[in-house]
Chains A and B, each alone.
Chain A
Amino acid sequence: GENVEQHPSTLSVQEGDSAVIKCTYSDSASNYFPWYKQELGKRPQLIIDIRSNVGEKKDQRIAVTLNKTAKHFSLHITETQPEDSAVYFCAAGFSGSARQLTFGSGTQLTVLP
């Protein structure tokens, strides 16, 4: 089955700096890669996703890049703000599959004021 590894497990950045979280996946059939954000005490929520036919996708301060050959994808957050502090999960899956997703182990991002 699919295996997703996520790094780093914790990340601290100064407000205004950029943050990068990286994930690798094992199953070359995976073609869908979402990122979820979980604030303290709250439910995980989808923040951005990318399909394997696209190399990069942006949404304001958030971007995701995908390297299919190397089987890794990354989340980039620019101009970080304190409200970006949360746990971020990457996931990989095959669209159309009922099981859908395998999640990474999570990254605790702390944005220091």
Chain B
Amino acid sequence: DVKVTQSSRYLVKRTGEKVFLECVQDMDHENMFWYRQDPGLGLRLIYFSYDVKMKEKGDIPEGYSVSREKKERFSLILESASTNQTSMYLCASSNPGTRVSNQPQHFGDGTRLSIL
């Protein structure tokens, strides 16, 4: 069974702090994703990575950065946390699909981040 583990379920930080959210997957997946989940807005993609040291911006990358130094680990960084970054953050991983097949994304349990 695929395991995607996020380091914290709940996190409280202060405005201006640098915040690290960690995600580890144990299935040797090539792709990893960070989403933000807000009521009424669904899952919005922040950043994704398709290989070690590779990263691509998603739909809402402003105020965030990522790091992927090892295949199994994908970190989301809030450079200077602000109150509008209070949200649920979900990490996911998958293998790449092909033109004729798809690989499902497997999600972690999420980190509920509060910025005070």
- The answer to whether the Cβ of A67 comes within 8 Å of any Cβ in the partner chain is no
Complexed CA–CA distance, A42 and B9 (Å): 11
- The answer to whether the Cβ of A1 comes within 8 Å of any Cβ in the partner chain is yes
Residues of A at the B interface (CB closer than 8 Å) are: 1, 6, 9, 32, 34, 42-46, 49, 51, 89, 95-106
- Tell me which residues across on chain A come within 8 A of B35, comparing CB atoms: 103
In the complex, which of the residues B44, B48, B99, B101 contacts A99, with contact meaning CB atoms closer than 8 Å?
B48
Complexed CA–CA distance, A90 and B6 (Å): 23
Q: Number of B residues contacting the other chain (C-beta, 8 Å)? A: 30
A89 and B59 in contact, given A34-B104, A96-B99 (Cβ under 8 angstroms): no
A95 and B98 in contact, given A46-B104, A49-B104, A89-B43 (Cβ under 8 angstroms): yes
Judging by beta carbons under 8 Å apart, are A96 and B97 in contact?
yes
Instruction: List residues of B (61-114) whose CB comes within 8 Å of A's CBs.
Output: 90, 94, 96-102, 104-105, 107-110
